[in-house]
Structure 1
């Protein structure tokens, strides 16, 4: 089973989360701008992105990437995570709905969010999310 953690991070908060998810999953860690593979080759994927603007995914790199690969997510185990600095997590709820509509299986049933910099507890939850992704 091939697993990857693909993320975008502006401040480093989501990057810290991505590293912890990858550690838990024993997965390849890839910044979205560096991804050049084929999503179809992966059985399990974790996606990380910070909330931006009006509680949306980052619009210059991550959103176009994600929109382009959505059709390949059906039946795959997916984990979602990211950090935010305002709002109530609406961006994650919208992202969860989107992934479910794509036919993916959302491990743990919901995405994992951290307010601002992830705490040690948040990072442990990220490692656990990575473990759940590959079980």
Structure 2
């Protein structure tokens, strides 16, 4: 597993910045990062990966983006058993419930979450959030 896929959906660019930081962490740890918007991700490659990261901001009433990301995550749930998955994303309101719900879904699908919890940032990620993303990338690369 020399390449770690970091798949994300973004509206304002905040989650993309987080995805890029996860990728920096992967590369710092000596692996190749493949950072892509979910529309560019090969589901076959993701299915073959033992570890990867998914990023999405909170939308609406603290849910995943429903047009593209929700169907993507539903497909991932079908093969998540035993996969090591890191989650990340930004939010502008609420308290991060969308991430807790997402974590629960991935665990229920049999995934092993990388890190104790998903990395979240309020609005644009600050230095601390970006460092948490880099740490997530390093942990993914160490698996």
- TM-score (ref. length: structure 1): 0.96
Unaligned runs of 5+ in 1: none
Partner of 1:65: 72
Alpha-carbon distance in 2 for matches of 1:60, 1:37: 17
Partner of 2:30: none
Partner of 1:116: 123
RMSD over aligned CA atoms reads 1.0
Which of 50, 53, 56 pairs up with 2:57?
50
Unaligned runs of 5+ in 2: 28-32
* Alpha-carbon offset, residue 108 of structure 1: 1.1
- After superposing the two structures, state which structure 1 stretch, 74-83 or 18-27, moved more: 18-27
Which of 8, 32, 38 pairs up with 1:32?
38
User: Secondary structure of 2:78's partner?
Assistant: helix
Over 6 Å off, 4+ runs: none
User: Secondary structure of 1:109's partner?
Assistant: coil
* Alpha-carbon offset, residue 37 of structure 1: 3.8
Deviation string, structure 1 residues 101-126 (Cα, Å, up to 9, x no partner):
11111011210100000011211111
Deviation string, structure 1 residues 60-80 (Cα, Å, up to 9, x no partner):
011111101211111111100
Confirm whether residue 107 of structure 1 aligns to residue 117 of structure 2: no
The number of residues matched between the two structures is 135
